[in-house]
Structure 1
Amino acid sequence: METVERRVLVVEDERAIADAVAARLRAEGFRVEVVGDGPGAVAAARRIPPDVIVLDVMLPGFDGLEVCRRIQAERPVPVLMLTARGDETDLLVGLAVGADDYMAKPFSMRELAARVHALLRRADKVATAASIKRLGDLEINQAERRVLRGGVEVHLTPTEFDLLVHLAGRPRTVLPRERLLADVWGWADASGTRTVDSHIKGLRRKLGADLIRTVHGVGYALEVDR
């Protein structure tokens, strides 16, 4: 279990849900702050700053997608988005602006807590690796969580970075989508493979379409020299 020093920012305008989420996360040992609108969320993220954010999509002021976009532009932080809608467009847009995981309401508090723990474990695992990996014209600084291609720095979301690090660990090796989902996201089942696909699209958009090869029906491989 994470220590009490880990901070979670809960952004939810439905008071009953916000209180229930906060109570569960406090019981897990987290320090929790709750805000109920978009501008308040951005201000709180600057003031705390949080180790992870649980963020509702529908908010007063401006929505969770805009909150995520603004926060990630200033400082990469793991984000778990919540929504009452099952629209796949929301999922894809949320991932594009920097969300790492996604849960639809109604949801299990136990599952939400498990997802928060998984996000933090993944961030911690990458942060402990202080090496700089160079593959072709790609440079990955794991300690500083920075990526350069051709000498130009590229801004990645926390999950995009973790996914790239995982692919770079075995360059030119095809890794199944289900394995990526388990190793990077910590999911035991294959229900979120479209989440993997969306993050791969994000990496290609930012780093170049030639970087990652798709093996249809199997998975993905990082196409760089060892």
Structure 2
Amino acid sequence: MKYPIKVLIIEDDPNICNLLELYLEKEGYNVLFADDGEVGLERYYDINPDFVILDIMLPVMDGWSVCREIRKDRNIPILMITGKGESYDRIKGLELGADDYVVKPFDPKEVIARIKAILRRTNPHFDSKDNIDLTDFTINMMEYKVFRKGKDINLPPRELELLYFLVSQPNQVFTRQQLLDSIWGYDFDGDSRTVDVHIKRIREKIGEEIHHWSLKTIRGVGYKFEVKTID
């Protein structure tokens, strides 16, 4: 998938739209809007976006109906947002074919991370220009490979995706639940210790770099990939 990726935001709250626009455009996305479900569906057919951010509670036509109609057309990535957190909403979103789900209020950085995670899952070429190169450490998402000091490190897909998620957002702390939602999906009902197990395995395989970068545990919170400035 080539930039600029077209993102259609169907949301009736202008503050949320402005906030998402700020972060999305900073990432290089082309952002378009609709403030009710009916107009949103019309714009979807007119502009043929690459990604849809869809609120559930919308005027004229609700997000469920919009999602249902979009899914009749094609399997475009859809991130649903809502002020409700009940499991019913999540289950219904899954049944209608939504790719992910966030609850208001949300961290826009987390939304960006989830969008990228969805695009990586749905389009194998999305990360072809987003490979990461650090000192003696490379992640190649095109080939799904990790190299440390030139050596190919064998990481299963889930471990690699978790590592990439953290490395691509250096120095940002993520809770275990945020990592579960972003990598395993919001419908995952397993234990949060799953993240701890995967982090332990990753550390055992890639090792630690004391002076330049570190996969750090933030006690009582979660994890971050810390990149240190070298003078």
Superposed pair shares fold, TM > 0.5 = yes
SS in 1 for 2:124: helix
Note if contact 2:180-2:188 (Cα within 8 Å) is conserved in structure 1: no
Moved over 6 A (4+): none
Partner of 1:47: 46
Task: Report what 1:7 is aligned to.
Answer: 6
* TM-score computed with the length of structure 2 as normaliser: 0.56
Partner Cα separation in structure 2 for residue 122 and residue 17 of structure 1: 25
Root-mean-square deviation (Å): 3.0
- Establish whether residue 109 from structure 1 lines up as the match of residue 108 from structure 2: yes
What secondary structure sits across from 1:80 in the alignment? strand
Structure 1 residues 127 and 34, CA gap change in structure 2 (3 angstroms): closer
- The aligned counterpart of 1:160 is none
Q: Is the 8 A contact 1:3 1:29 kept in 2?
A: no
1:47-72 deviation digits (Å, cap 9, x = unpaired): 11111111111000111111101011
CA distance in 2, matches of 1:35, 1:96: 24
Kindly indicate whether the alpha-carbon contact (under 8 Å) linking 2:78 and 2:98 is maintained by their aligned counterparts in 1: yes
Equivalence for 2:137: none
Instruction: Indicate the residue corresponding to 2:35 in structure 1.
Output: 36
Structure 1 residue 72 and structure 2 residue 71: aligned?
Answer: yes
Contact 1:22 1:34 in 2 (8 A): no
Q: Output one character per residue of 1:136-195: Cα deviation in whole Å (capped at 9) or x when no partner.
A: xxxxxxxxxxxxxxxxxxxxxxxxxxxxxxxxxxxxxxxxxx949x58xx7973356661
Identify the match of residue 187 of structure 2 among 168, 189, 195.
195
Q: Structure 2: any 5+ residue segments left out of the alignment?
A: 128-156, 167-177, 190-231
Contact kept, 8 Å, 1:80 with 1:99, in 2: the verdict is: yes
Shift of 1:94: 1.0
Shift of 1:4: 3.7
Per the alignment, do residues 24 and 92 of structure 1 end up closer, same or farther by CA in structure 2, a change over 3 Å counting?
same
Q: Distance in 1 between matches of 2:126 and 2:108?
A: 27
Provide the secondary structure at the position in 1 that maps to 2:81.
strand
CA distance, structure 2, for counterparts of residue 124 and residue 193 of structure 1: 17
Per-residue deviation, 1:5 = 2.1
Partner of 1:22: 21
Gaps of 5+ in 1: 129-177, 198-226
- Deviation at residue 127 of structure 1 after TM alignment: 9.0
TM-score by length of 1: 0.57
CA contact (8 A) 1:55 1:82 kept: yes
Q: CA deviation at 1:87?
A: 1.0
Same amino acid, percent of matched pairs: 35
Matched-pair contact (CA < 8 Å) for 2:9–2:32: yes
Once the two structures are superposed, the pairs formed by residues 1-226 of structure 1 within 5 Å of their partners are 4-125=3-124, 179=158, 189-191=179-181, 195-196=187-188
Structure 1 counterpart SS, 2:72: helix
